[in-house]
Amino acid sequence: MNLWNKLMCYSRRHSPWLFHMNGGSCNGCDIELIASLTPRYDAEQLGVRLEGSPRHADILCITGPITHNATNAIKTVYDQVCGPKAVIAIGSCPATTNVFIDSRTLEGPLSKHIPVDVFVPGCPPRPDAIIQGVAKAAEILAERAGKKQPVVPVVMPLVGPGCSGACACGASAEAKNEEVQA
């Protein structure tokens, strides 16, 4: 690896820029992602920054069960992120389509359409779990710089209860947590 690539690896590891896309979520995961950037959790102390354009981002954060309408937009945005790049599936929806599994408007899970590097489980995941997922993705990104590597998805451990009952799916938190524990 030449000096330029080493410098790029260091920068990406210590200052990952994120682009967030909603693939049809109930907004529960989106709120937790924003919470992770607030002073209380303070992801910015790790150099994490939310970007307005995928062309400036290193990591694509996707929430929601991936609706028909969102599918092409997600593929386009994925292509717009310059390589090397990493993808984080935030919440149980992009990983499995979760409580929306029987909906005919869905084309999820996300891994059917683009390679996913890190899955952060939870419905919604806690902000600290999201920060752990971003740190893992930054690590993957730094290793990936300058070489071609196959995507080996990492599933992060569940932090706190799987379901906080905060989303709009209508299922009770107790029932969903029993399902997660089973």
Footprint on this chain of ligand SF4 (rule: CB under 6 A): 25-26, 28-29, 63-64, 91-93, 98-99, 123-124, 167, 169
Q: How many CB atoms lie within 10 A of CB 80?
A: 15
Nearer to ligand SF4, 145 or 167 (CB): 167
Shortest distance, CB of residue 117 to ligand SF4, whole angstroms?
18
With H, G, I as helix, E, B as strand and everything else as coil, classify residue 137.
helix
Nearer to ligand SF4, 99 or 137 (CB): 99
Instruction: Name which of 87, 150, 148 is nearest 120 in CA terms.
Output: 87
Shortest distance, CB of residue 91 to ligand SF4, whole angstroms?
3
Quick check: 37 and 43 in contact, CB under 8 A?
yes
Positive/negative CA dihedral, 87, 91, 93, 98? positive
Nearer to ligand SF4, 151 or 169 (CB): 169
Quick check: 18 and 49 in contact, CB under 8 A?
yes
Please provide residue 13's backbone torsions phi and psi, each rounded to the nearest 5 degrees.
Answer: -65, -35
Nearer to ligand SF4, 8 or 35 (CB): 35
Shortest distance, CB of residue 80 to ligand SF4, whole angstroms?
23
Shortest distance, CB of residue 27 to ligand SF4, whole angstroms?
7
